[in-house]
Amino acid sequence: MVLHRGGPVNITYTVDGKPVVRHIPKGGVFFLPGGHECDVALHASLDSTHIYLRSDLFADEENAARSLVGGLAPILGERDAVLESLATAIGDTIIEGLPASSLFVDPIAKAIANRFIAINYHKPAYESGKQRYQLTNRQMERVRDFVEANLDSDIRLEMMARVCGRSTEYFVRIFKVTAGVSPYQYVLNLRIERAKALLGRDGPSIAEVALQCGFSHQEHLTRMFRRFTGVTPGRYRLSIH
């Protein structure tokens, strides 16, 4: 895992032989699980913290001998406030010369691993011999209705799971199998859809659109909107009027 303490910076990743160019903001997180190859080309200097996570941190809680690493995909510079905070805590122990006690660092490392599992785990294809449980159409409708009704607020995993009558851990595992994306990505997609609809109207300012779609501020909306559509909200609004 790499936390970008500086930035923004342009980076070219070559993951499993495929080049990907990203504009990484300060606080962006790079994650490369075992079994993937990645070359990184920086286009500017970058202050970063590198954290190497032991594979046993990703053991299945129900079967300690089974690793969940195979169900994790690379993350290329996405922002996540939880991961940023946890990685910063570890980085501060180095920068400030604090004792690197395992009593302090190990629980944080475990929390980081759990966070990656929560936002990024999906059942690998090679496990398809087992029965693949999925959310029903009705459950997915409930999730969408709930998310759309609460886009302007902080939507949490446990809330989405509760709508389906599932535990948070089980919900995370089967949601991506059903929807093809993680819950986090799913919510982001709907936020961008809502933003597009609001930008098509003459009334709300871009700052107001950001808040109505659950983004923390206008810059947050602009960054995510450009990542999804390739243009800024302002340019998108001009193009449809």
Flag whether 18 is in a domain.
yes
Helices and strands, number each (H, E), in the chain: 9, 7
pLDDT interval class at 178 (50, 70, 90):
confident
87-125 tens-digit pLDDT: 999 888 777 766 555 667 888 999 999 999 988 887 655
The structure's pTM equals 0.52
Is the same domain home to 75 and 143? Answer: no
Pick from 101-105, 140-144, 163-167 the range whose average pLDDT is largest: 140-144
**pLDDT tens figures, 8-41:** 889 998 887 888 888 888 999 999 998 888 899 9
* pLDDT > 50? residue 128: no
Question: What pLDDT does 180 receive?
Answer: 81
Buried b (16+ CB within 10 A) or exposed e, 159-187: ebbebbebebeebbbbbbebbeebbbebb
- Please indicate, yes or no, if residue 47 is contained in any of the structural domains: yes
* 196 and 153 both lie in a single domain: yes
Q: Which helix (H) or strand (E) holds 136?
A: none
Higher local confidence (pLDDT), 66 or 81? 81
Q: Which domain holds residue 185?
A: 131-241
Query: 153: which 2 tokens?
Result: 């607020």
Q: Which of 102, 121, 140 is the last residue of a domain?
A: 121
Average the pLDDT over 126-144 and give the result: 73
- CATH number for the domain spanning 205: value is 1.10.10.60
pLDDT at 125: 52
43 with 99, same domain: the answer is: yes
At 53-75, the pLDDT tens digits run 998 899 887 676 788 888 888 88
In a domain, 126, yes or no: no
Q: How many domains does the chain have?
A: 2
Same-domain check for residues 28 and 54: yes
Residue 52 lies in a domain: yes
